[in-house]
Structure 1
Amino acid sequence: MTDGLYIHIPFCHQICHYCDFNKVFFENQPVDGYLDALGEELQMMNEEGIFGEGPLTIFIGGGTPTALSVRQLEKLFGSIERSVPKGRLVEFSTEANPDELTPDKLASLKERGVGRLSIGVQSFDEGLLRRLGRTHGPGDAERVIRDARDAGFENLSIDLMYGLPGQTGAQWEDTLDRALALGLPHYSAYSLIVEPKTVFYNLMNKNLLPLPGEDAEADMFRMLMDRMESAGLRQYEISNFSKEGFQSAHNKLYWQNRTYAGAGAGAHGYVNGERYSNHGPLKKYMNAVAEGRRPVFETHRVTAGEEMEEEMFLGLRMIDGVSGAAFRKRFGRDIRDVYGNQISRLENQGLLEEEEGCVRLTEKGVFLGNEVFAQFIG
């Protein structure tokens, strides 16, 4: 039985300049054929007993799920309803683009049980949005929040980005002002990471990507944390802030190192002690399903040592940290028996602390999280 289900929709009407996820341009793609294959994959997973009584969370991501038409969304939801038990479901989320989330799509999502929207806003600066390759404008983001509320959605989140090419502190502050003025219960904010095989990566290699620099990025992160705290939003993970009761249940599964199934081209899963990834290319994915088999490309049996490493470097992303009692219950060993040297060293550096039986990042450690996580790998 898995705790979560991730469903991947790899289609986009526009490819963003920073995105390295598995995606293709929507035009001239076999979208309906893909949705048929996805429905068959979900049915195979159900027949194998992967879902058990049903997942706790369902998350539809991409790509861009809202690139689908209303008819295609209905087709997708029909497949989910036929194959995925919902006896335990506590959260049903989907990603969305502001300029694609029309009132009729909102109505379809609401009617089919989606309760949480994660909307990719990224910035409220028109120029930065164009630089990112986004197709919406600041007004679209504000409009879609109004439309979502009119459709009955309360659990709303937006994604923001900082450390962008040419971005100034003043631009970031203005984006935070406009984002917080929406009064949402959840915000995610990520610093730009330039990934291979992206437009930004190619520009960086040509010295044509003017990034703000580490100090400026750290100042933006500090501004983010201060503004969110002032607005009554608790930082519960390095990049995520929420009001009470609105933390992302699905994303917490990842950070808590719990199980989840992944369906769709390029999707990843963690089931029965194995991490797996599906074929990414649509043709390979669809051919595998047509042959009556799960479209799994590769699997990896997670060793006990790897599982403990993941417990640490994923769990330490959470502001509450890793519970010593939970670690002992899961692995039968004391956390300091396994990682005492690393924890002590990081405590001496002011990057970790232990409080109420939990090992967690200090304020300084939050800024240097990747350096901390690296101490628990390998």
Structure 2
Amino acid sequence: MIDTALPRPYQNYVYAYPHKTAYRPLPDRPALARVWAGESRSALSLYLHIPFCEVRCGFCNLFTRVGAPADLTGRYLDALARQATAVRAALGEAESPRFANAAFGGGTPTFLDAGELTRLCDIAEQIMGADLRAIPLSVEASPSTCTADRLAVLAERGATRLSLGVQSFVDEEARAAVRPQRRADVEAALGRIRDAGIPVLNIDLIYGIDGQTAASWRHSLDAALAWRPEEIYLYPLYVRPLTGLARHADLDVAEQDWDRERLARYAQGRDHLLAQGYQQVSMRMFRRGDAPPQGPDDYACQTDGMIGLGCGARSYTSRLHYSFDYAVELREVRGIIDSYVATTDFGSAVHGRVIDGDEAARRHLLQSLLQTEGLPVADYRRRFGADPWDHFGEQLHALAGRGWLAETGAELLRLSPAGLAYSDAIGPGFFSPDVRAAMAAYELR
């Protein structure tokens, strides 16, 4: 039974803070040279966004479109090169940027063919100056696009991690999630990935799919484990506005029953992976105990900056988060992509949110506390001049009262196993009133 006195466990996945629905057009459209003035360039992350997929999954609310007519992918890469050139010029020559890690995300980066993937790597290396063979490089992929020639390009150019969106090894569940695929094709793709020799394989699985049972969830977990992936992500199913599943959702379905089911499948998956020698890194992420290190587990933006290239990418400085416009509805997404492809001047930040000291503290706490290692209190105090209990005492005392903090001492704040299970409820509790208001006022499109 779920304690109805507790908040609902699945509210908001805090993979970045503030969420893009809190971004707004920047009235002064600051020049990138001014945005990056005074910012450290010693340990940047580089993210290249490819907004194309072969199919849009029913649960997906990412910024992506299905297919790419005519020469759209080539024209998109042209625009990506123009943007990279403008960003690199804005960073200046006084301190050359040094990249600590890189990622290609989407959408589905492997929607690009082998030649286009080569060009994508060239943009990262030759224009931005990232040495992809010397830093961790993570690439997202789908089973149908993991062809041998694409994987060969990624392996040769230095990819150290490939994340495969499988979601379920049960064909009926995949169809229920509006992700049409056959298990045989998934297994064949996994074989090609292993043959390519990319050091870290991550498999994404989803729990809470309509019709999923404890037995079928165990079946998917064991099918994934058979490949000995270095990482496994377990995602709860969310039904988001304007996504495929949202259009068909039965509004009369008891949300509490669904919460109970997802919590049960989460605990089942967590316990099974821990028993198989995996270590829990966050609510979603599990790493095999003997997996090779990959640098930062997930870019958390607590201290270092990120440069995002592409129409769905974010960039972070210590004072500003910025991107292009955001949408989910297919027609709106296509319009934003078309506008990006036609853009010739990428020298300004056009859409984003200013980050003050309070928001920076919230971001740092969230991105640390939601990891199993927790938040070192001394590190927080050094950065923000106060103890986190001074800034967020009410929220932290509430967590402690529910048994969601395992460590509450002067050295470390760390979630308990029960707290980790409620990560998607804990995160929103630390959103600022201004961010909450901006997200609430965002017009879905």
* Range into which the TM-score falls when normalised by the shorter chain: over 0.9
Cross-structure match for 1:370: 424
Q: Deviations over 1:290-348 (max 9, x none)?
A: 2x224743122101011111112222210111110110121122222222333233212
- 1:256 shift after superposition: 4.4
- Rounded to whole Å, the distance in 2 between the matches of 1:365 and 1:335 is 18
- Rounded to whole Å, the distance in 2 between the matches of 1:195 and 1:134 is 16
Q: SS where residue 299 of structure 2 aligns?
A: helix
- 1:131 shift after superposition: 2.1
Cross-structure match for 2:355: 302
Matched, 1:172 2:209: no
Equivalent residue in structure 2 for 1:31, among 73, 81, 88: 73
Which runs of structure 2 are paired with 1:86-101 in the superposition (5 Å)?
86=130, 89-101=134-146
Q: SS where residue 328 of structure 1 aligns?
A: helix
Q: Deviations over 1:249-302 (max 9, x none)?
A: 4652227464211110121121242101124511221233x2x22474312210
Matched, 1:77 2:121: yes
Cross-structure match for 2:312: 266
Q: Any conservation in 2 of the 1:276–1:300 contact (CA below 8 Å)?
A: yes
Amino acid aligned to 1:6: Y
Amino acid aligned to 1:151: A
Amino acid aligned to 1:284: S
Which runs of structure 2 are paired with 1:114-153 in the superposition (5 Å)?
114-153=159-198
Amino acid aligned to 1:48: A
- Rounded to whole Å, the distance in 1 between the matches of 2:252 and 2:52 is 30
Aligned residues: 376
Q: Any conservation in 2 of the 1:277–1:296 contact (CA below 8 Å)?
A: yes
Equivalent residue in structure 2 for 1:106, among 135, 138, 151: 151
Q: SS where residue 238 of structure 1 aligns?
A: coil
Q: SS where residue 143 of structure 2 aligns?
A: coil
- 1:120 shift after superposition: 0.6
Q: Which moved more, 1:365-374 or 1:166-175?
A: 365-374
- 1:84 shift after superposition: 2.2
Question: Residues 53, 293 of structure 1: CA spacing in aligned structure 2 closer, same or farther, 3 A cutoff?
Answer: closer
Q: Any conservation in 2 of the 1:168–1:212 contact (CA below 8 Å)?
A: no
Q: Deviations over 1:200-245 (max 9, x none)?
A: 1111156699996111111100111111101111001110000245
Question: Residues 345, 206 of structure 1: CA spacing in aligned structure 2 closer, same or farther, 3 A cutoff?
Answer: closer
TM value normalised by structure 2: 0.79
Q: SS where residue 144 of structure 2 aligns?
A: coil
Q: SS where residue 62 of structure 2 aligns?
A: coil
Q: Any conservation in 2 of the 1:142–1:182 contact (CA below 8 Å)?
A: no
Unaligned runs of 5+ in 2: 1-40, 327-335, 433-445
Equivalent residue in structure 2 for 1:343, among 358, 383, 396: 396
Unaligned runs of 5+ in 1: none
Question: Residues 325, 208 of structure 1: CA spacing in aligned structure 2 closer, same or farther, 3 A cutoff?
Answer: closer
> Identity across aligned pairs (percent)?
28
Amino acid aligned to 1:4: S
Matched, 1:354 2:407: yes
Q: SS where residue 393 of structure 2 aligns?
A: helix
Equivalent residue in structure 1 for 2:300, among 254, 275, 286: 254
Cross-structure match for 2:439: none
- 1:355 shift after superposition: 5.9
Question: Residues 250, 15 of structure 1: CA spacing in aligned structure 2 closer, same or farther, 3 A cutoff?
Answer: farther
TM value normalised by structure 1: 0.92
Matched, 1:327 2:380: yes
Matched, 1:40 2:82: yes
- Rounded to whole Å, the distance in 1 between the matches of 2:375 and 2:160 is 29
Which has the bigger relative contact order, CA under 8 A and spacing at least 6? 2
- Rounded to whole Å, the distance in 2 between the matches of 1:209 and 1:258 is 42
**C-alpha RMSD over aligned residues:** 2.4
Q: Which moved more, 1:61-70 or 1:340-349?
A: 340-349
Q: Any conservation in 1 of the 2:318–2:355 contact (CA below 8 Å)?
A: no
Equivalent residue in structure 2 for 1:282, among 337, 358, 361: 337
- Rounded to whole Å, the distance in 2 between the matches of 1:246 and 1:71 is 29
Question: Residues 208, 350 of structure 1: CA spacing in aligned structure 2 closer, same or farther, 3 A cutoff?
Answer: closer
- Rounded to whole Å, the distance in 2 between the matches of 1:76 and 1:220 is 38
Amino acid aligned to 1:260: M
Matched, 1:61 2:116: no
Cross-structure match for 1:6: 47
Q: Any conservation in 2 of the 1:4–1:250 contact (CA below 8 Å)?
A: no
Question: Residues 206, 376 of structure 1: CA spacing in aligned structure 2 closer, same or farther, 3 A cutoff?
Answer: closer
Q: Which moved more, 1:224-233 or 1:127-136?
A: 127-136
Equivalent residue in structure 1 for 2:234, among 175, 189, 199: 189
- Rounded to whole Å, the distance in 1 between the matches of 2:184 and 2:408 is 44
Q: Any conservation in 2 of the 1:313–1:374 contact (CA below 8 Å)?
A: no
- Rounded to whole Å, the distance in 2 between the matches of 1:285 and 1:250 is 30
Q: Which moved more, 1:355-364 or 1:177-186?
A: 355-364
Q: Any conservation in 1 of the 2:125–2:131 contact (CA below 8 Å)?
A: no
- 1:113 shift after superposition: 1.5
